[in-house]
C-alpha cells in the first residue's frame, strides 16, 4: 500500500482535543512509520469556513434566471436592479461591495455550484466530507491539509518544532481546532484567539511513564504541552515584531484576518490559516420582510466581503500579496425554493470564492439553470467537485504533483485554472468540449433519453445523472474518449416522474442539463 493511501485510510483512534491557554492539543496513540523532510514554501493558504450552509442563489445572482427565480423565491429574492454586476448575466449581493471591487481589481475568482455527488445535508456529516476531502460514502479520519503536511512530515508531532521547522504548520483562528488539518496521529493546526495573550502551560517534572496505553497517552500529552510552549514563544515573538497597515472593520472575521496579516508580517512561516464565519443556517429571517436586501444574510455577507477586502489591502501594503491565496467554503448550499419563514432550507451545491493577487479573474462554470417549477427540496445541481478546487490549489500553489493529488485526494481529479502566473507554473489545456453541441432528446422523456455531445480532441469524459436532491443515480461514461460526436443512452423507465440533471465533464469543462421524466 502506498504511504499516502495508508495515511488517508488508516483507522487512527479518535483524537481528544483540548484547549489550553488558547492553544489546541490532540492526544492519540502514537504511531509513525515513515520519515522525511521538505523545505518550507513561502506560500500561504487562508481557508474561510462559512458555517451553516449558505444560500448561494442570493449571494451570486443569476440575472439570466430571474424570471423563474421570482416565481420560486419571491419573498427573499434580491431585486435585479440592486445586483453588483460582474458580468452581463451575473451579479453579487448588494452588500458585497468589497468583493465587487476585488473582482474589478482582478483579485477574485468565482467558482459556480461547487459540491460533491450524493450530497449529505447534515451539517456535521457534510462538514466532515469537506474537511477530510473525501467522497460521501467514505469515512476518513484525516483532513485534506493534514494529509498534505503528513506526506513530508509523517513523524509529526514527534520531534517538532525543530531547527528546520520552528513554526506551526497551520493555525486555526478561534477556540476549536480545524479537522481540515488533522493528521493520522496529531492535528497540524494550533488554535489561536489572541496572539498577544499566551501563558506558559505547566509541563511538570520529567518522569518515567508505565509501558501501557495510559502511560503512552500521558507521555504524548506532555510532549504536546512542551510543543505548545515552544510554538507559543514563536507566535508571541512574531506578533510583537509584526504590524498591520490597513483599517479593518469591527467584526470577528476581520479580527481573525488581521491576526493572520500581523503574524505573517512578523515573520511567522505558518503555511495554512483556517478562519470561520458562522450564522449561515438561515432557515428563518434570512431577509427583512420589508426589504430583501437587508436581514441576517446581508449582515454576514457584508462582514465577509469587507473583512477580506481589508485583509487584501493590508497584505498589499505589507508587500505580502503574492504570497497569499484565500478561499471560502460552506458545507452545502440551500434549496432553490424559499420557505414561508423568509428563509431557505438545506440544499446541495453553492458558489465558492478564491481570492488573492495570484488568482485568475474569472467566473468558472455557468449560472445554474432554474426551471419555472421544481419539486420540493430541489437544490442547485453540482457543476464543480470541491476536490478539484482543493487539488488545483495544492498543485498550483503548493507544487504538489497531479499524480500525488489523485493518489491521496481524488482519483478523478481535474485541474482548474484558478491560479495565474505568479504561482508555480502549470500546464495549460486547450478547450476540447463544444458545449453548444450537447443535446438531450427526447426531453421530457418517458423511458429512455439520449445524450449527445461533440469533442474536438481526445479527453477524459464523465457523464452522470443526478436527482433533484444531489444524489448521483448513474455514471454513464467515465473514460478517455476520442474526438468526434458521441451518444449515450440513459434508461430512466424505472424512475419516478420528476426533474433530473445530466452532468457532462470533459477535462475541466462542465455542462449541466435539466432532464424531465414524465
Same domain? 452 vs 378: no
Last residue of some domain: 394, 409, 424? 409
HEC assignment per residue over 247-292:
CCCCCHHHHHHHHHHHHHHCCCCCCEEEEEECCCCCCCCCCECCEC
Q: What is the pLDDT of residue 12?
A: 37
Greatest C-alpha distance within the chain: 77
In a domain, 91, yes or no: yes
Residue whose grid cell is 520529567: 206
In a domain, 19, yes or no: no
Structural domain boundaries, residue 266: 44-409
In a domain, 424, yes or no: no
Phi and psi based region of residue 283 (left: phi greater than 0; alpha: psi -120 to 50; beta: remaining): alpha
Q: What is the CATH number of the domain that holds 457?
A: 2.60.40.2550
Q: What is the mean pLDDT of residues 83-97?
A: 98
Share of the chain above pLDDT 90, in %: 68
Q: What is the mean pLDDT of residues 433-450?
A: 86
| pTM exceeds 0.75, yes or no | yes
What nine digits make up the cell of 497?
Answer: 416522474
Same domain? 374 vs 449: no
Same domain? 311 vs 215: yes
Q: What is the pLDDT of residue 352?
A: 98
Helical residues (DSSP H) of 318-372, grouped into ranges: none
The answer to whether the CB of 198 falls within 8 A of the CB of 24 is no
In a domain, 26, yes or no: no
Last residue of some domain: 409, 429, 455? 409
Q: What is the pLDDT of residue 232?
A: 87
Last residue of some domain: 388, 409, 430? 409
| Residue 241 scores a pLDDT above 90 | yes
Q: What is the β-pairing status of strands 108-115 and 362-364? A: parallel
What nine digits make up the cell of 106?
Answer: 482582478
Q: What is the pLDDT of residue 406?
A: 93
User: How many CB atoms are located within 10 Å of the residue 3 CB?
Assistant: 15
Same domain? 446 vs 371: no
Same domain? 223 vs 263: yes
Share of the chain above pLDDT 70, in %: 84
Q: What is the pLDDT of residue 3?
A: 42
The answer to whether the CB of 95 falls within 8 A of the CB of 293 is yes
Tens digits of residue pLDDT in 270-304: 999 999 999 999 999 999 999 999 999 999 999 99
pLDDT band per the 50, 70, 90 thresholds, residue 13: very low
Q: What is the pLDDT of residue 60?
A: 98
Q: What is the pLDDT of residue 207?
A: 59
In a domain, 219, yes or no: yes
Least confident of 39-43, 308-312, 325-329, 392-396: 39-43
Same domain? 218 vs 265: yes
In a domain, 265, yes or no: yes
In a domain, 77, yes or no: yes
Same domain? 385 vs 490: no
Q: What is the mean pLDDT of residues 446-460?
A: 89
Mean pLDDT of the chain: 86
Same domain? 443 vs 405: no
Beta bridge partners of 49: 276, 329
In a domain, 33, yes or no: no
Same domain? 278 vs 397: yes
Nearest CA among 109, 100, 98 for reference residue 423: 109
CA distances from 406 to 51, 140, 314, 394, 486 (A): 28, 16, 35, 11, 27
The answer to whether the CB of 474 falls within 8 A of the CB of 464 is yes
Least confident of 77-81, 330-334, 423-427: 423-427
pLDDT band per the 50, 70, 90 thresholds, residue 10: very low
Phi and psi based region of residue 189 (left: phi greater than 0; alpha: psi -120 to 50; beta: remaining): beta
Same domain? 248 vs 394: yes
Q: Which is more confidently placed, 435 or 32?
A: 435
Q: What is the CATH number of the domain that holds 106?
A: 3.40.720.10
Q: What is the β-pairing status of strands 324-329 and 272-277? A: unpaired
Give dist(CA 158, CA 213) in Å, integer: 17
Same domain? 498 vs 381: no
DSSP conformation class of 63: G
Same domain? 398 vs 482: no
Tens digits of residue pLDDT in 103-116: 999 999 999 999 99
Beta bridge partners of 173: 192
Q: What is the pLDDT of residue 411?
A: 93
If one counts the domains in the chain, the total is 2
pLDDT band per the 50, 70, 90 thresholds, residue 231: confident
Amino acid at each position: 500500500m502506498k504511504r499516502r493511501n495508508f495515511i488517508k485510510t488508516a483507522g487512527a483512534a479518535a483524537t481528544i482535543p483540548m484547549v489550553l491557554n488558547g492553544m489546541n492539543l490532540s492526544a492519540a496513540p502514537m504511531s509513525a512509520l515513515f520519515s522525511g523532510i521538505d523545505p518550507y514554501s513561502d506560500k500561504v493558504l487562508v481557508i474561510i469556513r462559512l458555517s451553516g450552509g449558505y444560500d448561494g442563489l442570493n449571494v451570486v445572482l443569476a440575472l439570466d434566471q430571474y424570471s423563474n427565480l421570482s416565481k420560486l423565491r419571491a419573498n427573499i429574492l434580491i431585486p435585479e436592479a440592486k445586483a453588483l454586476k460582474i458580468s452581463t448575466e451575473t451579479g453579487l449581493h448588494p452588500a458585497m461591495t468589497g468583493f465587487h471591487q476585488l473582482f474589478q481589481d482582478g483579485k477574485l475568482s468565482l467558482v459556480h455550484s461547487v459540491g460533491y455527488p450524493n450530497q449529505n445535508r447534515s451539517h456535521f456529516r457534510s462538514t466532515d466530507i469537506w474537511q477530510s476531502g473525501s467522497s460521501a460514502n467514505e469515512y476518513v479520519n484525516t483532513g485534506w491539509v493534514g494529509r498534505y503536511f503528513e506526506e513530508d512530515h509523517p513523524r509529526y508531532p514527534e520531534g517538532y518544532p525543530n531547527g528546520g521547522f520552528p513554526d506551526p504548520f497551520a493555525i486555526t483562528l478561534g477556540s476549536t481546532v480545524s479537522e481540515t488539518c488533522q493528521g493520522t496521529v496529531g492535528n497540524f493546526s494550533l488554535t489561536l484567539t489572541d496572539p498577544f495573550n499566551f501563558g506558559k502551560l505547566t509541563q511538570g517534572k520529567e518522569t518515567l511513564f508505565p509501558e501501557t496505553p495510559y502511560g503512552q497517552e500521558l507521555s504524548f500529552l506532555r510532549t504536546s504541552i512542551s510543543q505548545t510552549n515552544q510554538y507559543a514563544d514563536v507566535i508571541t515573538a512574531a506578533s510583537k515584531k509584526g504590524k498591520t497597515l490597513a483599517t479593518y472593520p469591527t467584526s470577528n472575521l476581520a479580527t481573525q484576518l488581521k491576526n493572520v496579516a500581523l503574524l505573517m508580517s512578523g515573520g511567522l512561516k505558518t503555511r495554512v490559516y483556517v478562519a470561520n464565519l458562522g450564522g449561515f443556517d438561515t432557515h428563518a429571517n434570512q431577509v427583512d420582510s420589508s426589504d430583501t436586501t437587508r436581514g441576517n444574510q446581508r449582515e454576514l455577507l457584508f462582514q465577509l466581503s469587507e473583512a477580506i477586502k481589508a485583509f487584501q489591502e493590508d497584505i498589499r501594503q505589507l508587500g505580502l500579496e503574492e504570497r497569499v491565496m484565500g478561499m471560502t467554503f460552506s458545507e452545502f448550499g440551500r434549496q432553490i425554493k424559499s420557505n414561508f419563514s423568509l428563509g431557505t432550507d438545506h440544499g446541495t451545491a453553492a458558489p465558492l470564492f478564491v481570492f488573492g493577487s495570484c488568482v485568475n479573474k474569472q467566473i468558472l462554470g455557468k449560472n445554474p439553470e432554474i426551471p419555472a417549477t421544481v419539486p420540493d427540496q430541489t437544490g442547485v445541481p453540482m457543476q464543480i467537485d470541491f476536490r478539484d478546487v482543493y487539488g488545483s490549489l495544492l498543485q498550483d500553489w503548493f507544487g504538489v504533483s497531479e499524480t500525488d493529488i489523485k493518489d491521496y485526494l481524488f482519483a478523478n481529479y481535474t485541474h482548474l485554472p484558478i491560479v495565474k502566473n505568479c504561482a508555480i507554473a502549470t500546464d495549460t489545456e486547450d478547450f476540447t468540449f463544444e458545449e453548444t453541441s450537447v443535446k438531450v432528446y427526447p426531453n421530457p422523456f418517458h423511458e429512455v433519453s439520449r445524450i449527445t455531445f461533440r469533442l474536438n480532441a481526445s479527453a477524459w469524459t464523465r457523464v452522470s445523472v443526478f436527482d433533484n436532491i444531489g444524489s448521483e443515480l448513474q455514471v454513464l461514461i467515465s473514460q478517455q474518449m476520442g474526438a468526434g460526436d458521441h451518444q449515450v443512452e440513459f434508461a430512466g423507465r424505472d424512475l419516478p416522474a420528476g426533474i433530473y440533471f445530466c452532468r457532462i465533464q470533459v477535462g475541466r469543462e462542465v455542462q449541466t442539463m435539466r432532464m424531465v421524466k414524465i
